[in-house]
Amino acid sequence: MKYFKSRALIILIVTLVLIVTIGLTINPLSNVNWIGNLISVPFTAVERVFTYAGQEVEAGIGLFSDVETLRAENKALKEEIDKLNNERTEYLRFKNENEDLKNVLKLKEQLKDFEFMGANVIAKDTGNLFNIFLTDKGSTSGIGYNMPVITSKGLVGKVASSQPFSSKIISIIEDGSAVSAIVSKSRDLVVVKGDLKLGKEGLCKLVYIPNDLDLSQGDKIETSGLGGIYPKGIIIGTVKEVRTGESDLDRYAIIQPAVDLRRLSQVVILKNDMPDTSSEMEIIDK
């Protein structure tokens, strides 16, 4: 009981001291201001701690807000980049198509005796290359046997057969195919043939090379116009490599076709009313 009385007395005394001290420190001229200052020191330190903590929390919230803003801006930039990439792809596609159309128009002037029939590739033979493929134009469109097939870049091959709504095309790299050709720089007559092994690489073979012909890498090869199938002056490809066998007579060259047969999606079939003379010239053009 005495303990509680003494404790209450102590609390009362401390409270009275604090009240008196606060009253005295209200006057700035009071000599006891040092007591208020002494009391305020620990409270000021605590206030600073809480102020600093509050500032840090506020900064953290601000940083989180900045991160969210950056994420939104980054997403918007990525969408803009994707849009620009798509537009660039479309531009390049239209540019290539425009170039193809220009080249086709040039060929039209060169091949005035032929009617141009555009066709889409709808199927291909097994394998990675378009050695043999089908187009969506057939006999109902006037497509017939042995009609030449080209693109704006050069020779593809010829029509092997036609159905009412489709036609089968054999390319120049197919084994057994043969095209009468000339070397552009010298006008020497040669023959471009399909080869089973080279065809797997998308290449073909140049044979019957004259002994005195200085054939070298990069030389252009084009159709000669002989044989009754392919018109003159269509680019076939370029010489990639010249090889020599056991004798000069065994000399041959590897030809890189001008047309990328692996990525072929559209072709032009040259329609004509010329009589079929392939049986007479099958040794030259096959």
Q: How confident is the model at residue 244 (pLDDT cuts 50, 70, 90)?
A: confident
pLDDT per residue as tens digits for the range 166-210 = 999 999 999 999 999 999 999 999 999 999 999 989 999 999 999
Give the model's pLDDT for residue 232: 93
pLDDT per residue as tens digits for the range 116-137 = 999 999 998 766 677 899 999 9
Q: How confident is the model at residue 279 (pLDDT cuts 50, 70, 90)?
A: very low
Bridging pattern class, strands 220-223 and 204-207 = unpaired
Q: What is the mean pLDDT of residues 60-72?
A: 70
Phi, psi of 62, deg, nearest 5: -65, -40
Answer yes or no: is pLDDT of 20 > 90.
no
- Six-digit token string for 247: 């004798």
Class of domain 115-281: mainly beta
Max avg pLDDT among 77-81, 104-108, 244-248: 77-81
Burial of 147 by CB count in 10 Å (0-12 exposed, 13-18 middle, 19+ buried)? buried
Is residue 206 within 8 A of residue 253, CB to CB? The reply is: yes
Give the model's pLDDT for residue 55: 60
pLDDT per residue as tens digits for the range 249-274 = 678 999 999 999 888 888 999 997 65
Cβ partners under 8 Å of residue 163, min gap 6:
138, 139
Cα–Cα distance, 64 to 59 (Å, whole number): 9
Q: What is the mean pLDDT of residues 101-124?
A: 82
For the chain, the domains span 115-281
Cβ partners under 8 Å of residue 205, min gap 6:
192, 193, 194, 195, 198, 252, 253, 254, 255
Is residue 132 within 8 A of residue 250, CB to CB? The reply is: no
Q: How confident is the model at residue 216 (pLDDT cuts 50, 70, 90)?
A: very high
Give the model's pLDDT for residue 168: 95
Cα–Cα distance, 72 to 54 (Å, whole number): 27
